[in-house]
Amino acid sequence: MSATFEVKPAPAGPAPRAAEKAARKPPRTSRRTQAWRSLRRHWQLYLLIVVPLAYFVIFKYIPISNAVIAFKDYSPIKGPWGSDWVGFKNFELFFQNPVFWTLVKNTFFLAAYTVLASFPIPIILAIALNEIRNGRFKKTVQLVTYAPYFISTVVVVSMTILVLSPRLGFVNDAIGLFGVPQIDFLGKPDYFRHIYVWSDVWQTTGYSAVIYLAALSGIDPALHESARIDGASRLQRIRNVDLPGIMPTAVIILVLGVGNIMSIGFEKAYLLQNPLNQSQSEIIATYVYKTGLLNADFSMATAIGLFNSVINLALLLCVNFVAKRITGNGLWS
């Protein structure tokens, strides 16, 4: 994980003359001489890539090496590598902390619920749109449902709070028509997950449907044609032509969703959080933020973050493996 990728052709480098000598012998051009030749001919490309590569080293790989402070008692003066080792103390403390299971449970349920709700709905929307041939209506639905994706999380959360607010929001007015007393949705922990998930569905369904629409348009029209001639109804064609056609796409999206279950984002949960609903809204990501930046316990926050990353990576690899076994489609082939 250090700065020397193979941009540079191996240490110390044989002089150009040596490379030329090697090049003169055609049967065995080693990788090193190949690299050297490519570097000499296309040095501008290697120059071009230096800055972006430095970005990835500095902002992605150095943080990974910095994560060593999870096993240390971090002191700002001594720096990440100079601090004293404490082994797994931070992890043990975290596992023993009564908040541990609450965090894992909240994170897991929130994310699982999100995946369950936001996986099938875009597929239904895409198939419904695909059945319609009325150009303008179809375009309007697509344009409008796609729009919320471009609204920021802060605004979506604000809208949610305003719409659900006890005095001002129309949701309480609407349920008031049925004689239900006003509800402070955000103040009740039990409503938190529903609010989180369904506002997410509201925001992302149109966007996710686009991917399935593309998959649907890639299906050979001849398949539909022959199914029609055989007397298949619309529903039958959806089940036997459309669904198998979008299967590979759906698998990839499900794998990504399930694999990322433990890495559910900080942003929205933090914004929707308030002291009243914390028993369900506190997830690992928000806890890391609070421990690390508000309480300045860097080592502990890193340990929790690392625990989360490792679990997440393992989960993603497992799910991908299983999906590949069952359907033959994985994230990478």
Partner 1 sequence: MSVTLQGFRRTAGKRPEQSRRTTIEETRTDKIFLIGVKIMLWIALIVVAVPLIYIVANSFSSPSAVSAGRVLLWPIEPSIRAYKEAFSDPLIMKGYLNSFIYAIGGTLISVTLTIAIAYPLSRRTFFGRNVIMSLLIFTMLFSGGLIPTYLVVQDLGMLNTRWAMVIPSAIGVWQVIIARTFFRSTIPDELYEAATIDGASDLRFLWSIVIPLSKPVIAVIALMYAIFQWNSYFDALIYLKDPGLFPLQIVLRNVLILNTLTGSTTTTSLAQQLEQQQLANVLKYALIVISSLPVLIIYPFVARHFTKGVMVGAVKG
Q: Which residues from 32-51 bind partner 1, rule CB under 8 A?
A: 34-35, 38-39, 41-42, 44-46, 48-49, 51
Rounded Cα–Cα distance for residues 175 and 178 (Å): 5
CA distance to 112, 120, 193, 248, per residue, from 117 (Å): 9, 7, 11, 19
The distance of closest approach from Cβ of residue 282 to partner 1 in the complex, given in angstroms and rounded to an integer, is: 16
Q: Which of 24, 25, 167, 325 binds partner 1 (CB under 8 A)?
A: 167
Residue whose tokens read 């029609």:
228
The distance of closest approach from Cβ of residue 175 to partner 1 in the complex, given in angstroms and rounded to an integer, is: 13
Q: Is 122 in the site for partner 1 (CB under 8 A)?
A: no
| Contact stretch for partner 1 (CB under 8 A) within 15-23, 57-65, 88-96, 239-247 | 57-65
Which residue number, 203 or 280, has a Cβ lying nearer to partner 1? 203
Which residue number, 173 or 190, has a Cβ lying nearer to partner 1? 173
Q: Is 6 in the site for partner 1 (CB under 8 A)?
A: yes
Which residue number, 32 or 108, has a Cβ lying nearer to partner 1? 32
Q: Which 227-266 positions form the footprint of partner 1 (CB under 8 A)? A: 228-229, 233-235, 249, 266
Q: Which 79-118 positions form the footprint of partner 1 (CB under 8 A)? A: 80
Which residue number, 34 or 327, has a Cβ lying nearer to partner 1? 34
Rounded Cα–Cα distance for residues 305 and 294 (Å): 15
Q: Which 15-34 positions form the footprint of partner 1 (CB under 8 A)? A: 34
Number of neighbouring beta carbons within 10 Å of residue 23: 13
Q: Which of 88, 95, 101, 137 binds partner 1 (CB under 8 A)?
A: 137
Q: Name 126's Cβ contacts closer than 8 Å, sequence gap at least 6.
A: 209, 210, 212, 213, 216, 246
Which residue number, 60 or 194, has a Cβ lying nearer to partner 1? 60
- Pattern of binders to partner 1 over 304-323, x per CB under 8 A? -xx-xx---x--x-------
Output Rg (C-alpha) for the chain, integer angstroms: 27
Q: Which of 89, 271, 278, 311 binds partner 1 (CB under 8 A)?
A: 271
N-to-C CA span, the chain: 24
For 106-137, give one letter per residue: b (16+ CB within 10 A) or e. bbeebbbbbbebbeeebbebbbebbeeeeeee
Phi, psi values for residue 152, rounded to 5°: -70, 160
Q: Which of 183, 210, 254, 311 binds partner 1 (CB under 8 A)?
A: 210
**Helices 243-259 and 298-327 meet at what angle, rounded to 10?**
160
The distance of closest approach from Cβ of residue 122 to partner 1 in the complex, given in angstroms and rounded to an integer, is: 11
Q: DSSP code of 181?
A: P
Rounded Cα–Cα distance for residues 72 and 89 (Å): 8
